[in-house]
Chain A
Amino acid sequence: MTAPVRRAAGPATGTVAVMTTDTVTLTGLRAVYGTGTRRVTALDGVTTSFAGGTFTAVMGPSGSGKSTLLHCAAGLDRPAGGTVTIDGNRLDDLGEDELTRLRRDRIGFVFQAFNLVSTLTAAQNVELPLRLAGRRPPASDVAAALAAVGLADRARHRPSELSGGEQQRVALARALITRPAVVFADEPTGALDSAASRQVLRLLRALVDDHGQTVVMVTHDPTAAAYADRVLLLADGRLADEFTDGITPAAIAARIAEQATDPAGGSRPPAHVAGESSC
């Protein structure tokens, strides 16, 4: 794998040192699903923050709460307790409309399943968030956004005419069109082959390096996580491990294995695995 080499070439660690403002802050985040005997605690008091201009990978086994963390942080889901602050805005103070508007303007989201609107062209999909905000972006902006993800010539294609990697890059362009404070990506390479994955991950890395973008990505793939500046490991809804140095696929895999055999923070029985589908 060439990923570690690529990462080493980037000035990522330096950026972390320079940026001191936290774009996203999570405090005592708790999330609970279901009722009665089916009750599942997906997040059990997570406190962390994501500094501006950094690339964080959130990892953990199925049901560890990593997707829930992402959804709560992005304002797609409401936590049962704790607070989320994005760019100085506390999300729990906001109503549904205000929250939507904040999400629209300040948060980009990339899904595993791309989630493009099948009846719209690539360019229309990209401009959709701005159109929903009541603005009509200049065609040049949309073209530039598509060019930035290497799809300048695909603007008029519909999702069904694009490959998986191309669709995910359109989704990325859509997430970036509003110039968000933070981009959340939920397993963005989960449905892609390795070549397409590399392309998407390099784009994310370049956003952080060249534009100071803040990126938070959930993944279970150590190779993908190796593109990040910092890795968070979740287990049973708690923050189990966190490291910023020596991020290589092998090192990450080793820390995960260590976590599984000797759960540092987790003496509790494993949480119900239904959490994965409910997040």
Chain B
Amino acid sequence: MLSVRRSAGAFVAVAIGVALVTAATLLLVSGRPQVPDRLAQATVVVQSPEAGAADSFAPTRPWSAIRAAELVERLAGLPGVDAAVPDRAFYAQPLVDGRPRAADGQREDAHQGHGWASARLGGLRLTAGEPPRRAGEAVVDRVLGLRPGAPVTVLTAAGPEPYTVTGLVDAPGVHVADEVAAALAPGVRAIGLVLDPGADPERVAAAARGVVGGDGRVHTGDGRGALEPRGDARTRWIGMQVLTATAALAGFVTVFVVASTFAFTVAQRRRELGLLRAVGATPRQVRRMVYAEALAVGFAAGLVGLLVGAALAPALGRLLVDVGFEPATFRVRYALWPLVVALAAGPVIALLAVWSASRRAARVRPLEALREAVVEQRPIGRLRAVTGTLLVAAGAALGLATATSDDARDGATFALYAVMALVAGATVLAPAVVGPVVRLLRSPVRRRGGAIGLLVRSGALTATRRTASIAAPVLLTVAFAVLVAGMVQTSTAAYAVGRADRVNAGWVVAPDGAPGLSDRAVAATPGTALLPTTVFVPESAPAAAIRPLTALGVDPVAFAAANRVLTVVAGSLDDLVGDDTVVLTASAVPTAGLPSQPYPVVFADGERVSLRVVAVVTDGSIPGDLLLPRAAVRAHDPSALTSAVYVRDRIDPPVGARVVDVTAWGAEADRAEDRLVWLCTLLLIVVSAGYGAIAVVNTLLLAAAGRAADLRLIRLAGATRRQVLWLVTAESALVVLIGAALGGSVAFAGLLSIRAGLAEQVGAPVDLVVPWTVVSGVVGLCLLLAVVASVVPTWRLLRHRPGRSPVGTAAG
């Protein structure tokens, strides 16, 4: 009973779904932390204590210079250890011709400086020249094209510094004399151990654990991946989200598409199924037959999808790295279990999808073989109507929750569920809604089409199931595209407005091609500078837990003037002076008013300082967790970089900086992240639109086969070939437009509630951004494919004379 033609749509859908799932799981499994090249030769690495949750990507809490020196000495004395070398990293960006190298922009290690001693941990050898011995000497990457003896300007946190190249290595970054490194980065986050030949790493690691105790962690082998740059870990985490979302969406949409394909196939085969029932097939056998067909399709398509997905994985991996969803160190590794999962995915997807179709097939009665014309059933069953209504009601309730929620995270979650419920409800109810919508559209069609209009209208009205099953994937695709794209763009714009709204300044000086602004650039700029650093605060519970906080080094008077939303609850910002004062937010203090007890923090140099709380401000009124005097931040974090300077008037930007107006700055502050989010959104829309297109084409092709007799009759009744082609074109266009209109309205309702929620959150009116290019692209794609998929089979059908018509055999 298996028909290749009938199963083609399901086959393609399952194959693509499994290919996506295969590629995504392979890439997910491949995304493992890499041991940094710089620590390749350090068989055992001791890392300073982790701070915050694993997915916060905050740096570890450093050891102070004294503690680090003590640890180094004790670790170096362990049996089997040849050398213990502290790894210090600080900001140092070599300028070639006055500018940073363009290609280095993304790579964190290209603008990091290290002490020369740590070159040993990476097994670096000089390719030319000598090591740096005193201040002002540096070893640089060979690719910069400099020679030993040449001068080079290195951008540091202080400003551009003149250095002399003493040697070259085959690795990114700048290596300076160890005393210079110790001054620029007093805090140490890793100590690498180089072992004697023949020493057992595990034994050394155990001894090292004894030395550091709770004040750090010891890694060997692949475990040293924990020392990868935090940026890489974050990128990989983003990639993981994208891949998981893609795989989940692919699986969900595949089930949906395949289910509608099978449902349609069963509807078309009612006569054949009735015949089988009449000659003695039990409902169970019919059901089993449908299941067997689905299994065969699922297995075969799953195998094809598996091979395609596995073959495409490396190329996709490279693409992800280029786009920024995976770190540059990412490599695809083939593992067994993702392949096994993918192999099982095909049949499982097919079986899930065929469940409801098989129930319907088993309900076909034997007498249906005797019916000449297929009479449409009720447009919608009671269970279906109830399900659809409940889904729409749930969607509306969640939409209301979105609109009234003032927490960004809650709002986004509500919005997502609201959308899913609304879209699913609209799809389920589509057959019931199609009729009224067609009636709404009937007057324009009648005026334009004459006889064709009559046929189009009556066809769409009587065959509501068919109309609905073509409109449903369009509805789903358009609703998803409009909603997701609109949500992302609206919230991006809303947050940009919110950000710009807080700043009381005309212009902002922002870094250009560098991670931040140096002190010299800030000194040359008359304005309000923010100097962010990370400080570490011991948590009350659990014991020994440390929380990383973003501290802003500011000049209190200028900061207060430049911040529109700053509200002081207690104390005064004017007291934020000296090196032991701090301003906290209201949620960080246990009681109202100024807390009398000191506030201990650990700075980036590892020093523990007890701070005096001089003022408390409301939550959300500062773009960080706490405020410190700028001088205090600089004193404890020599490599901290200024993120932005607010200025009143437009000025000429210093080296490594540019000036933008506040609105543009608000929009671009999260540009890198917004870009990734938008790419991810487009990826998901492409996946769903692709599936929508498959579903539309498949349904139309199947419907065309079922309509052959009808169209022949219309030809016999005197319609020209061209009129029949017009008829099918108008029919499919009408159905696609109905689906698009329904999907668009559902999505628009969702967007309105999201907008209301966002306005609540940012405290400013929010413009609804509808991504018309995406919407028109998706609708246009569906329209084009629908017309092609209905005109081509009709055209082929009409090549024959109208008189021939099949008689006497069941539709097979």
Per the bound structure, the CA–CA distance linking A178 and B280 in Å amounts to 10
B271 — nearest CB in chain A belongs to which residue? A115
Contact of A133 among B276, B277, B278, B280 (CB under 8 A): B280
CB contacts between A and B, total, < 8 Å: 84
B811 contacts across to A, CB distance below 8 A: 118
B281 contacts across to A, CB distance below 8 A: 100, 132
Interface presence of B717 (CB below 8 A): no
Contact across chains for B279 and A128 when beta carbons are under 8 A apart: yes
Contact across chains for B279 and A167 when beta carbons are under 8 A apart: no
Contact of A76 among B278, B285, B371, B808 (CB under 8 A): B278
Contact across chains for B282 and A97 when beta carbons are under 8 A apart: yes
Contact of A132 among B272, B279, B372 (CB under 8 A): B279
B366 contacts across to A, CB distance below 8 A: 76, 100, 103
A277 contacts across to B, CB distance below 8 A: 371-372
Interface presence of A7 (CB below 8 A): no
Contact across chains for A100 and B277 when beta carbons are under 8 A apart: yes
B369 contacts across to A, CB distance below 8 A: 111, 115
A162 CB → nearest B CB, Å: 9
Contact across chains for A97 and B284 when beta carbons are under 8 A apart: yes
| B-facing residues in A39-88 (Cβ within 8 Å) | 71, 76-77
Given A76-B366, A113-B370, A101-B809 contact (CB < 8 Å):
no
Interface presence of B131 (CB below 8 A): no
Contact across chains for B370 and A132 when beta carbons are under 8 A apart: no
| B-facing residues in A154-213 (Cβ within 8 Å) | 159-160, 164, 167, 174, 178, 186, 191
B369 — nearest CB in chain A belongs to which residue? A115
B275 — nearest CB in chain A belongs to which residue? A115
Contact across chains for B283 and A115 when beta carbons are under 8 A apart: no
A132 contacts across to B, CB distance below 8 A: 276, 279-282, 285
Q: Which of A111, A128, A132 has the most chain B CB atoms closer than 10 A to its own CB?
A: A132
A96 contacts across to B, CB distance below 8 A: 282-283
Interface presence of B367 (CB below 8 A): yes
Contact across chains for A101 and B282 when beta carbons are under 8 A apart: yes
B812 — nearest CB in chain A belongs to which residue? A118
Given A115-B275, A116-B810, A119-B1, A100-B367 contact (CB < 8 Å):
no
Per the bound structure, the CA–CA distance linking A10 and B285 in Å amounts to 42
B555 CB → nearest A CB, Å: 84
| A-facing residues in B231-286 (Cβ within 8 Å) | 272, 275-285
A118 — nearest CB in chain B belongs to which residue? B812
Contact of B278 among A105, A109, A164, A279 (CB under 8 A): A109
Interface presence of A117 (CB below 8 A): yes
Interface presence of B3 (CB below 8 A): yes
Per the bound structure, the CA–CA distance linking A89 and B761 in Å amounts to 74
Interface presence of A227 (CB below 8 A): no
A262 CB → nearest B CB, Å: 33
B278 contacts across to A, CB distance below 8 A: 76, 109, 111, 115
B275 contacts across to A, CB distance below 8 A: 115, 117
Contact across chains for A100 and B812 when beta carbons are under 8 A apart: no
B614 CB → nearest A CB, Å: 83
Contact across chains for B282 and A111 when beta carbons are under 8 A apart: no
Given A76-B366, A76-B367, A186-B370, A117-B283 contact (CB < 8 Å):
no
Per the bound structure, the CA–CA distance linking A133 and B367 in Å amounts to 19
Contact with A along B345-370 (1 / 0, CB 8 A): 00000000000000000000111011
Contact across chains for A129 and B280 when beta carbons are under 8 A apart: yes
Interface presence of A272 (CB below 8 A): no
B280 — nearest CB in chain A belongs to which residue? A104
Contact of A100 among B280, B370, B372, B809 (CB under 8 A): B280
Contact across chains for A167 and B809 when beta carbons are under 8 A apart: yes
A111 contacts across to B, CB distance below 8 A: 278, 369-370
A101 contacts across to B, CB distance below 8 A: 280, 282
Contact across chains for A118 and B809 when beta carbons are under 8 A apart: yes
Contact of A117 among B280, B285, B372, B810 (CB under 8 A): B810
| A-facing residues in B358-391 (Cβ within 8 Å) | 365-367, 369-372
A191 — nearest CB in chain B belongs to which residue? B808
Contact with B along A96-132 (1 / 0, CB 8 A): 1100110111000101011111110000000011001
Contact of A174 among B1, B3, B279, B808 (CB under 8 A): B279
A160 contacts across to B, CB distance below 8 A: 809
Contact across chains for B276 and A119 when beta carbons are under 8 A apart: no
B431 CB → nearest A CB, Å: 22
Per the bound structure, the CA–CA distance linking A104 and B284 in Å amounts to 14
Contact with A along B274-310 (1 / 0, CB 8 A): 0111111111110000000000000000000000000
B370 contacts across to A, CB distance below 8 A: 111, 113, 115, 186, 279
B285 contacts across to A, CB distance below 8 A: 132
Per the bound structure, the CA–CA distance linking A159 and B812 in Å amounts to 11
A103 contacts across to B, CB distance below 8 A: 280, 366
Contact across chains for B283 and A100 when beta carbons are under 8 A apart: yes
A191 contacts across to B, CB distance below 8 A: 807-808
Q: Which of B3, B272, B276, B279 has the most chain A CB atoms closer than 10 A to its own CB?
A: B279
A114 contacts across to B, CB distance below 8 A: 808-809
B365 contacts across to A, CB distance below 8 A: 76
A167 contacts across to B, CB distance below 8 A: 808-809
B282 contacts across to A, CB distance below 8 A: 96-97, 100-101, 132
Per the bound structure, the CA–CA distance linking A98 and B14 in Å amounts to 36
Q: Which of A97, A105, A113, A116 has the most chain B CB atoms closer than 10 A to its own CB?
A: A113
B375 — nearest CB in chain A belongs to which residue? A277
Per the bound structure, the CA–CA distance linking A22 and B275 in Å amounts to 28
Q: Which of B280, B370, B371 has the most chain A CB atoms closer than 10 A to its own CB?
A: B280
A173 CB → nearest B CB, Å: 12
B702 CB → nearest A CB, Å: 16
Contact across chains for B279 and A119 when beta carbons are under 8 A apart: no
Per the bound structure, the CA–CA distance linking A175 and B807 in Å amounts to 21
Q: Which of A115, A128, A160, A178 has the most chain B CB atoms closer than 10 A to its own CB?
A: A115
A155 CB → nearest B CB, Å: 17
Contact across chains for B279 and A129 when beta carbons are under 8 A apart: yes
A168 — nearest CB in chain B belongs to which residue? B808
A129 — nearest CB in chain B belongs to which residue? B280
Per the bound structure, the CA–CA distance linking A191 and B275 in Å amounts to 18
Per the bound structure, the CA–CA distance linking A178 and B279 in Å amounts to 11
Contact across chains for A119 and B808 when beta carbons are under 8 A apart: no
Given A109-B278, A113-B370, A119-B812 contact (CB < 8 Å):
yes
21 A–B contacts from the bound complex (CB under 8 Å): A96-B283, A97-B283, A97-B284, A100-B277, A111-B370, A113-B810, A114-B808, A115-B275, A115-B278, A115-B370, A115-B809, A115-B810, A116-B810, A118-B809, A119-B3, A119-B812, A159-B809, A160-B809, A167-B808, A186-B370, A191-B807
Interface residues of A (CB under 8 A from B): 71, 76-77, 96-97, 100-101, 103-105, 109, 111, 113-119, 128-129, 132-133, 159-160, 164, 167, 174, 178, 186, 191, 277, 279
5 closest residue pairs by CB, A with B: A104-B280, A118-B812, A118-B809, A100-B282, A129-B280
Interface residues of B (CB under 8 A from A): 1, 3, 272, 275-285, 365-367, 369-372, 807-812
8 further interface pairs, Cβ-Cβ under 8 Å (given A117-B276, A119-B812, A128-B280): A71-B367, A76-B366, A104-B280, A115-B370, A115-B809, A119-B3, A132-B279, A167-B808
